[in-house]
């Protein structure tokens, strides 16, 4: 091989080395750019996935809270309905017992004791349930009064004075008052 061929050969070698070095440098730079872009894409994808995950967690937590709230609301409604049903049943039974009492001989004695507590200087109106108009004579013996049918379902009486004061001795009002007391003190209060 002559000197010219050697020079050409060395030049080719040198050009190839430089080209290979340049290709390697470009390849390395391309790999770095690709890695940076991949990392950037991965970071953005992770950030977006984290945002979606957090949003999903919030939605699940909110739904869970709503479900718990709805369950508690439904449970409270059911308990209120049961409490009201028990209370109504109890007071219906009490009312039946009171109506039985009003049909008994003891009722007349009860009414006499109640009316004995009252004395008035002037004529009064005494209101009784329609069935108790039969007791008119007893009331008139104790008081100067007019005995009238009133809006009384169970029994007892109301006295109305000339200045419109009302004395309520009805079993209806007593039962109503007891129901209010019972509901306040029965330990069936929901918390």
- Name residues whose C-beta falls within 8 Å of residue 127's C-beta, 6 or more positions apart in sequence: 148, 149, 150, 151, 152, 157, 158, 159, 160
CB–CB of 124/144 below 8 Å? yes
Q: Residue 127: its pLDDT value, please?
A: 96
Asked whether residue 23 is domain-assigned, the answer is yes
Q: If 0-12 CB within 10 Å is exposed, 13-18 middle and 19+ buried, where does residue 83 land?
A: middle
Asked whether residue 91 is domain-assigned, the answer is no
Residues of the chain falling short of pLDDT 50: none
Q: Of 30, 54, 74, which residue sits at a domain end?
A: 74
Q: Residue 191: its pLDDT value, please?
A: 56
Number of domains in the chain: 2
Note down the domain range covering 40.
1-74
pTM: 0.63
Tell me the CATH number at 142: 3.30.2320.30
Are residues 118 and 167 both part of a single domain?
yes
b/e code 68-81 from CB counts within 10 Å (16+ = b)? eeeeeeeeeeeeee
Asked whether residue 84 is domain-assigned, the answer is no
Q: Residue 11: its pLDDT value, please?
A: 78
- Estimate to the nearest angstrom the gap between the alpha carbon of 61 and the chain centroid: 20
Asked whether residue 21 is domain-assigned, the answer is yes
């Amino acid at each position: 091989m002559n000197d010219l061929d050697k020079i050409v050969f060395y030049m080719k070698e040198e050009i190839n080395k430089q080209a290979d070095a340049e290709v390697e440098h470009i390849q390395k730079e391309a790999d770095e750019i690709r890695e940076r872009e991949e990392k950037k894409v991965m970071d953005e994808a992770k950030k977006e996935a984290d945002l979606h995950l957090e949003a999903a967690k919030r939605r699940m937590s909110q739904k869970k809270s709503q479900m718990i709230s709805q369950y508690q609301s439904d449970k409270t409604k059911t308990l209120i309905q049961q409490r009201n049903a028990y209370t109504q049943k109890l007071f219906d039974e009490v009312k039946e017992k009171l109506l039985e009492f009003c049909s008994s001989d003891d009722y007349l004695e009860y009414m006499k004791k109640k009316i004995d507590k009252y004395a008035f200087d002037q004529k009064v109106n005494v209101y009784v349930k329609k069935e108790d108009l039969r007791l008119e004579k007893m009331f008139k013996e104790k008081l100067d009064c007019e005995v009238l049918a009133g809006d009384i379902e169970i029994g007892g009486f109301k006295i109305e004075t000339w200045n419109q004061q009302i004395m309520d001795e009805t079993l209806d009002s007593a039962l109503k008052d007891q129901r209010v007391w019972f509901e306040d003190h029965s330990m069936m209060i929901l918390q």
